[in-house]
Chains A and B, each alone.
Chain A
Amino acid sequence: MALEVSHVVGGYSQIPVLKDISFDVKDGELVGLIGLNGAGKSTTINHVIGLLTPHQGTITLNGVTIDQDSQAYKQQIAYIPETPVLYQELTLREHLEVTMMAYDLDHEKAWATAHKLLKTFRLDNKLDWFPANFSKGMKQKVMIVCAFLTSAKLFIIDEPFLGLDPLAVNDLLNLIEERKRQGASILMSTHVLDTAQRYCDRFVLLHDGQVKTEGTLSELQAALPEAGESLNDIYLSMTKVDRS
């Protein structure tokens, strides 16, 4: 059991956005976090990466909570934010180096991985560029390269598919597949449901700060038999519940 979120109540202020959320991500598993805008996906992610502290409940990562040992907890996480954020004063090369230093990686090995990743995402000739010169898609690729440089046990990927070109989406999915085989867990939030349906092992459907339902696609289909076959149908029917 890599990541275990249990009975978390939390949010940005005293008013909770998340109302008693529980789910888990197992080793070598890709879990999709699905929900409407404002359902609480980003809030959940911010709690998991330690940006927010839960009002109640615990988040455990391979037996460690952030309160017990924040460094050991953070060491296991690699995060790809929805909107790429980069240090304006650092070149691409320096971003990679800072990542290696922060995660205390072996530089020689890390650079070998880095060069492979840079080549995949066609950034290998841009090592001395500043972020200001990158397009949004390129910045996103830099985020991906930095995250997959680490040997994190849990990858947290916030809406990765928007803004990436189809080739990059494909390469990212291959990377995720590769890390899964090595035993890493991935928590991914997305609105691109047909891609999620094809690649995710399980789904957590968030609605209004609560876990509406969770499980594999067949489990979801069994739970909501009238909803339809695809994840898209199930998702739409879930939102309709609230509209009527």
Chain B
Amino acid sequence: MTGLFKTRLQRHLREMAKYLRLVFNDFFVFALLFFLGGLGLGYSNVLKQLHGHEWWAPLVALLVLTIVAQIGRLATLIEDADRVFLLPKERAMHAYLVAARRYSQVIAQATQAIAIFLLSPFLAVTLGWSVTPVLLLLVAQVALKDALLRMDLASAYQVTGQARMNRWPIKWGLSLIVLACGLWITPLVAVILAIVADIAVAVWFQQHWQTQQIRWREQIKIEDNRMLGIYRFFNMFTEVPMLSGTIKRRRYLDGLFHLIKPTHEQTYLYLFSRGMARGTEFSGLIVRLTVIGMMLLYFIRGEWLPVILAALFIYLIGFQLLPFFHQYDDIVFTHVYPVAAAQRLKSFVTLMTLILSVTAVLLWIVVVLANQQLLPAAVTLIVEALEVWYLARIYTPQRLKRSAENRA
């Protein structure tokens, strides 16, 4: 059974690695560094303004640590089919679940350690803590998280009857008591309390699990929700197949679509525009990048930097829209309709020009608002206009013609 978990874990980690590579693309890392740098700077500025012995300091630490203690769920990797295929193996599932908890510890405990590490300058400045109490607090936090994960594990069984041991009032309550003792009395008390709680749960669970059934349905639901959360997160950066394929009617756009006259020449403009806007894949990409670009440009001042960034964002969007041309290649009617291929390409170029122009104008407005100077505004506008023209009208047809030749 631990073998089963290992295979699943490998598959899971491969999948996560695939998405993480997509999330942490060069561009995102760049933005993230900016963001973290800003946060770090802000944090150190706040610390400089403190003079020690603030009455609210332990309260802030308590709140932060209690929230952090809830981060890191029990990842069981249980699948829907398991309740059919693994049902006869219910007793053996114990080893599987224990292995799952061991894996879950890694991320959860790393999070705890990082949180304590980040909080240590704050504790040192406000409470005058040296290294020893901080380390003791770390031990308490890790033991606490261990106990909380053990409760999650115990709740996979019906050990406590209908009530679950890992309900949020219990978890939050235990965290608050342990950490409050550590912050107001002394960290050593927190260490003792956390370890006692951990051992109590462990002993109790050890005595009871063998006579209990696994809550299959609930565990499957919990795991599904956990995965859904992860996929949703990834979906903000890239397209996740488990979530994609969603189509929104977007009735409010009908007015815009009606501007496209239903003539033979416009066949593909009619199709492409609706497909692009209603499918979440490409419309989401355009909106995401435009909004990020606008936010970034709002904080950027200078003569050339806004111009370069605006140009970069238009290029990024335009470049990533190119595959949409082949979106309907699998649909036989794309080839059967008596519409010339050149007409299809022309419609796509028109759509590209439209989308990139709207993005360019939005970015330009932000540049004007942020800088309020004539020169950057004028230069940005000219550069954007040239770029949109080149990207949509020259580069796109060339590139798509070449890829069509490669396909044939």
Contacts and interface: CB of A to CB of B under 8 A. Distances in A.
Is the pairing of A and B real? yes
Interface of A: 49-51, 70-75, 77, 79, 81, 85-90, 94, 97-98, 100-104, 107, 130, 132
B331 interface: yes
A50 B340 CA distance: 13
Contacts of A50: 335-336
A97 B262 contact: yes
A49 B267 CA distance: 19
Contact of A51 (B275, B279, B335, B339): B335
A218 to B, nearest CB: 35
Interface in B268-288: 270-271, 274-275, 278-279
Interface of B: 245, 247, 249, 262-264, 266-267, 270-271, 274-275, 278-279, 328, 330-333, 335-340
B264 to A, nearest CB: 4
A130 B271 contact: no
Contact of A98 (B247, B270, B279, B340): B270
- Which of A70, A101, A107 counts the most B-chain CB atoms under 10 A from its CB? A101
B332 A89 contact: no
Given A88-B245, A90-B275, A97-B262, A103 B337 contact: yes
Contacts of B338: 70-75, 77, 102-104
A51 B332 contact: yes
A104 B245 CA distance: 30
Given A85-B331, A89-B278, A90-B275, A101 B270 contact: yes
Given A85-B332, A130-B247, 4 more contacts: A73-B338, A89-B247, A98-B270, A101-B267
Given A49-B336, A50-B336, A79-B336, A132 B247 contact: yes
A87 B267 contact: no
24 contacts: A49-B332, A50-B335, A51-B336, A72-B338, A74-B337, A77-B336, A85-B331, A85-B332, A86-B331, A87-B271, A87-B328, A88-B247, A88-B279, A89-B247, A89-B275, A89-B279, A90-B275, A97-B262, A97-B270, A101-B262, A101-B266, A102-B337, A104-B264, A104-B338
Contacts of B332: 49, 51, 79, 81, 85
B287 to A, nearest CB: 16
A89 B332 CA distance: 16
A-B CB proximity, top 4 nearest = A74-B338, A102-B337, A104-B264, A75-B338
A100 B328 CA distance: 18
Contacts of A75: 338
B131 to A, nearest CB: 60
Contacts of A102: 264, 267, 333, 337-339
B337 A89 contact: no
Contacts of A103: 337-338
A51 B336 CA distance: 8
A183 B335 CA distance: 25
Nearest to A51: B335
A125 to B, nearest CB: 17
A98 B335 CA distance: 14
Contacts of A72: 338
B237 to A, nearest CB: 23
A86 B275 CA distance: 12
Contacts of A79: 332-333, 336
A97 B262 CA distance: 7
A74 B247 contact: no
A90 B271 contact: yes
A87 B339 CA distance: 17
A87 to B, nearest CB: 6
Contacts of A74: 336-338
A75 to B, nearest CB: 4
A179 B263 CA distance: 26
A98 B275 CA distance: 12
A103 B337 CA distance: 7
Given A79-B332, A87-B331, A90-B275, A71 B267 contact: no
A89 B266 contact: no
B249 A130 contact: yes
Contacts of A87: 271, 275, 328, 331
